[in-house]
Chains A and B, each alone.
Chain A
């Protein structure tokens, strides 16, 4: 079964850091671009970052550029995002999502992990 499982969400103070992980299974992880998409409570979807299958291209939303770093370990079938200088408006459910092999839509999503930034 194709599956994505996020972990690492937590309550963190403003200015703090957090690292999220996403464990993939059931498909050839290195073949697919992977992304993080977030959703603030009661709000819509907000793309955060994407990394290519072989790690040679990364893309970020302006709102996280310079603060978040996406990475992947294809030997461990795991996607990461390192989040620094966290702000209250980073509070959201963070989803790990697989893009189709042709860089189309997000065809597989994890269940999400909650990040709360508050003092």
Chain B
């Protein structure tokens, strides 16, 4: 099973700040790394597919990068609605696994 480790667990920032979230895989996942945003009481929302491809309707302040075992989600300038929990997920192999999440507060 591929283990995904997200850091930091919590990121304390202000609107307008740049947010940098990390996801590290226990073995290579190539580019098959996905990012989601989840707000309190809501279902997750797909942000980034295959490491760097923004999903439909996702603002360009969200960007993803990385390959192999190290990945980054960057929010260039935080908007009030961006404060949420962010999860990474790998689709390289079964079982599909998620990271533990990073809370941006």
Residues of B within 8 A of A (CB): 34, 36, 38, 43-46, 49-50, 55-56, 87, 89, 91, 94-101
Contacts and interface: CB of A to CB of B under 8 A. Distances in A.
A44 B43 contact: no
B101 A44 contact: yes
A104 B91 contact: yes
A59 B97 CA distance: 13
Nearest to A50: B96
Question: For A103, A104, A111, which residue has the most chain B Cβ atoms within 10 angstroms?
Answer: A104
On chain A, which size bracket covers the interface? 20 to 34
Interface in A87-119: 95, 100, 103-107, 109-112
Given A45-B87, A100-B49, A104-B34, A109 B95 contact: no
A105 B95 contact: no
B98 A46 contact: yes
Given A104-B34, A107-B55, A59 B45 contact: no
A27 interface: no
A61 interface: yes
